[in-house]
A = this chain, B = another copy of it.
Amino acid sequence: MQAIIDFVLELDKLKGVTRKTRPLGLDRQENSAEHSWQIALLASSLAPYAPQALDMNRVVAMLLVHDIGEIDTGDTIAYAEEGWQERKAAELAAVQRIFGLLPSEQAARFLALWQEFEDAATPEARFAHAADRAMPVLLNLANSGQSWRENGISYERVVKRIRPPIETGCPALWAYLDGQLRHAQTQGWFGA
């Protein structure tokens, strides 16, 4: 029991890992814990638009654990292109440490979920990636492009980065976002 409690208290640190996006109407940055909650519900709500029958419980479970490595590594904005391999190795070491606080059977289960998300090789993992990538875009679309403008992210860069994972994981979601992003471009919501 103490091992489980130690793990859950360690999770508290994800509440202090901040992202670039701000929650709507709040004057602070979003953290990775509340983001994980929101995308679990986004994925769950999007189930009717999944491209095939999926185990949605596994999608939700993956999304709840996918950012836990950031406790040690911090969040990296999705547009950072350098040091990708080093970052992934550091995140793996982090989740091995953090899940390793748990009894081995549960540690292995969470690590398998985390790895499935990372590998993005199953339809469930791809659907989870689509939700994860779409959420900050949806917030930016509702926020007049707050983090795009603040971080100098162009329309082309957003589309290049998010189209492949979203179109692969949830084509209907990409079709929706495609129209919204074109509209956002006409509104000047992107950085240079």
Listed in ascending order, the chain A residues whose CB lies under 8 Å from chain B are 1-2, 4-5, 7-9, 11-16, 23-26, 30-31, 33-34, 36-38, 40-42, 44-49, 57, 60-61, 64-65, 102-103, 105-106, 135, 138-139, 142, 172-173, 176
The 3 closest A-B pairs by CB, nearest first: A37-B37, A33-B34, A57-B57
- Determine if B65 and A176 form an interchain contact, defined as CB atoms under 8 angstroms apart: no
- C-alpha spacing A37/B38, complex, angstroms: 9
- Residues of chain B within 8 A (CB-CB) of A25 are 12-13, 16
- Determine if B4 and A46 form an interchain contact, defined as CB atoms under 8 angstroms apart: yes
- Determine if A5 and B48 form an interchain contact, defined as CB atoms under 8 angstroms apart: no
Partner of A8, one of B34, B36, B138: B138
- Determine if A139 and B12 form an interchain contact, defined as CB atoms under 8 angstroms apart: yes
A101 to chain B, nearest CB (A): 10
- Residues of chain B within 8 A (CB-CB) of A48 are 103, 105-106
- C-alpha spacing A133/B61, complex, angstroms: 21
Partner of A9, one of B2, B102, B138: B138
- C-alpha spacing A177/B141, complex, angstroms: 45
- C-alpha spacing A155/B46, complex, angstroms: 44
- C-alpha spacing A46/B103, complex, angstroms: 11
- Determine if A13 and B24 form an interchain contact, defined as CB atoms under 8 angstroms apart: yes
- Determine if A16 and B5 form an interchain contact, defined as CB atoms under 8 angstroms apart: no
6 contacts across the A-B interface (CB closer than 8 A): A8-B41, A8-B138, A9-B138, A11-B41, A13-B25, A45-B106
